Amino acid sequence: MDVIEIIGGKPLKGKVRISGSKNAALPILASTLLTNSKVRLTNIPNLSDIFSMIELLKSLNVKIYKKNNYYTFKSDTPKSLIASYELVRKMRASFLILGPLLSRYGYAKVSLPGGCAIGTRPVDLHLEGLKRMGASFAIKNGYVHGSVKGKLKGTSINFKKKSVGATENLIMAATLAEGKTIINNAAQEPEIDDLCSFLIQIGAKIKGYGTDLITIDGVKELNGGEFQVMPDRIEAGTFALSVLGCSGDLILTGVNNEIYKHFKDIFKPIKFLKIKKIDDKSFSVVKAKEGVLNLKVTTKEYPGFPTDLQAQLTAALLKIQGLNEINEKIFENRFMHVGELRRMGAKIRKKGSKVEITGVKEIYGAELMATDLRASSCLIIAGLMAKGKTIINRVYHLDRGYENIEKKLKACGAKIDRIKK
């Protein structure tokens, strides 16, 4: 089993190329089920979650070829419309195939999803929306059995709360539905914009993406096409917060203007983390001379502070003078990293949905256990900041969302290695 070994105390300096976005790629991969024409995708990251989705699509008779840096997908009619527990249990995004299968074939049997253990994250919003479009569901033996008489029908859907996954599932389902679908209180994440841009590229009629009111006019069929997946803003944010924790100067490449503007906004309260645009595909992140910081950060839906950067921010603040507070409003069980950070000497107080971080002069290396994807990158940041050796177990969590993170950090001066234990 692999572990990550870190000798802390080194500032980061160099260039990091940001990989393609996992959270954009997964729904786009699922949407290849909507067309029987060839689709070519580039900038797909090499991650275990991506490989899991590819295996799931192959089980549904999608022919997939990889050459150089692009994938080609051709979705033929499957012999079975069952997405098994063995394939779906590994990650929650597998549930995104439900909308495409119902929309194109009128039936799907999909195992209830797995993924990170960071809260209940129910699928009720997905099912309620699809029911309004004419689908019927039964949940038996851990599977969702969905069916449609004829075609899904366009309708007006009002989400009671914003949900990225439900928004994506309903958009995909609506592309081949009869008539117009209106999604109110839609999530506004850039990854949804990327999905919509791809679907439009292959013939979908979608308006309003990027806002909370999305309109989809169903078409009879979708075509083939080519598309480049957007860069991963969470990976970029993880490296930016590594600079906050470790000091240094990084240039992030392969990004875009939207990520740059988003970071300028969400990191503005961190007065000594400086972000400067270099060109449309790169910006620098520098930690200026630090002082006392007293932040109050609340995780929110986009364009607010991402819940997927909460753990990394927690680690980066451990040695900064002051009392800093983070309020987790998206998921109810996303502080499992706190216990591991305390073992390193961190001074963190948890109160309900909040943590208070009192800066300490030093934290110390320890053997740690990653509990989920973003917690694993949080522990890497802490290890880079710590005095002495840190060993991180369960790095399979890390491999779900970060492509070669240890190699990228090592190229910037970090003493970090992946070793066999």
pLDDT at 112: 87
Tokens 């060109």 correspond to 279
Per-block average pLDDT, block size 10, for the chain (421 residues)? Answer: 96 98 98 98 97 97 95 97 91 94 98 61 88 96 94 97 96 98 98 98 98 98 98 98 97 98 97 96 94 96 97 98 96 90 98 96 97 94 98 95 98 97 81
Amino acid, single-letter form, for residue 199: L
Contact criterion met (CB below 8 Å) for 6 and 378: no
Dihedral angle of Cα 217, 125, 196, 25, to the nearest 10 degrees = -150
pLDDT at 118: 40
pLDDT at 20: 98
pTM of the model: 0.96
pLDDT at 306: 97
Helix axes 22-31, 190-201, angle to 10 degrees: 30
Domains assigned to the chain? 2-19+231-420 (3.65.10.10), 22-228 (3.65.10.10)
Catalytic residue among 116, 196, 246, 412: 116
- Whether residue 116 lies in the annotated active site: yes
pLDDT at 117: 46
User: In angstroms, rounded to a whole number, what is the distance separating the alpha carbons of residues 267 and 93?
Assistant: 28
pLDDT at 121: 56
